[in-house]
Amino acid sequence: MNLYICGGECLKEKLNKQTSISFNEALYDGVVSYPLFDDTFNKLRATTHNVSVKEYHDYTVKPLETIKEYNELELVFGRDMFCMMNVVGLLTFLEQNNFPGNVTLRIVDEITLDVIDTYPIKLGIYTEMYKTVLINHKRYRGKCIFELECGLETYLQLQSENNEILEYIEEHLEDSDLLEVLLLRYPDYGFGDTQYLRMINKVKSERKAK
């Protein structure tokens, strides 16, 4: 029997499969470490998400304990950067635990659930990818699937202090519809209201400090 691992609770509810869990993270945001889900990692991520370590463990780590009961995994994620960084982290976690079964990645439209691409995944490259890009913020030079390649590039662009989103916010900070425009303008990032409001507040704080 397959275990479906979905890119968040909303996607899990839409998919409506009996054997499914959601991967509740946002690895693009904040500091990460290796190995995943040890004490150091959990403390870092709990701080990023402003929750207790126990809350983080119960919400994010505990559902993943189900994985060891299966030998067929289907990863169901959107194609934006937010989702692709979580895919990198999840595949790294599978490598870290020497998962012996088959893994398939299905990239879907998160609104309609239409399948955009399907990839059989061969584990072995994702720990290096994770360490290179998400920890060291350097470009991964190996080959990978197209959507991951795009997500990695977008993630690295985001690490710049003058990334395109912050520049746009700086130029349009007084616009009353700024949040709505950001949601429409940068779909490749996969951000929602919370992420953009945090960035808007960051720009406001920096402007006040000048």
Length of the chain: 210
Do residues 143 and 180 both lie within one domain?
A: no
Q: What is the pLDDT of residue 209?
A: 85
Residue-by-residue DSSP string for 52-98: -HHHHIIIIIGGGGGGGG-SEEEEEE-SSHHHHHHHHHHHHHHHHTT
Do residues 19 and 114 both lie within one domain?
A: yes
pLDDT band at 107 (very low <50, low <70, confident <90, very high): very high
Domain count, the chain: 2
- CB of 64 closer than 8 Å to CB of 37: yes
Task: Report helix, strand or coil for 132.
Answer: helix
Task: Report helix, strand or coil for 11.
Answer: helix
Res. 210: pLDDT tops 80: no
Give the mean model confidence (pLDDT) for residues 39-53. Answer: 96
Do residues 107 and 180 both lie within one domain?
A: no
Do residues 81 and 140 both lie within one domain?
A: yes
Residue whose token pair is 């429409």: 184
Residue range of the domain that includes 16:
3-157
What are the tokens at 115?
């399948």
Give the mean model confidence (pLDDT) for residues 77-92. Answer: 98
What's the chain's average pLDDT?
Answer: 96
Q: What is the pLDDT of residue 34?
A: 98
Do residues 84 and 127 both lie within one domain?
A: yes
Do residues 16 and 120 both lie within one domain?
A: yes
What are the tokens at 178?
């700024």
Q: For residues 186 and 103, give the distance between their C-alpha atoms in angstroms, rounded to a whole number.
A: 30
What would the pLDDT profile of 120-176 be if each residue is shown by its tens digit? 999 999 999 999 999 999 999 999 999 999 999 999 999 988 899 999 999 999 999
Do residues 36 and 100 both lie within one domain?
A: yes
pLDDT band at 78 (very low <50, low <70, confident <90, very high): very high
What is the share, in percent, of the chain residues with pLDDT greater than 70?
Answer: 100
Contacts of 113 (CB under 8 A, 6+ apart): 14, 15
Domain end position, chosen among 116, 133, 157: 157
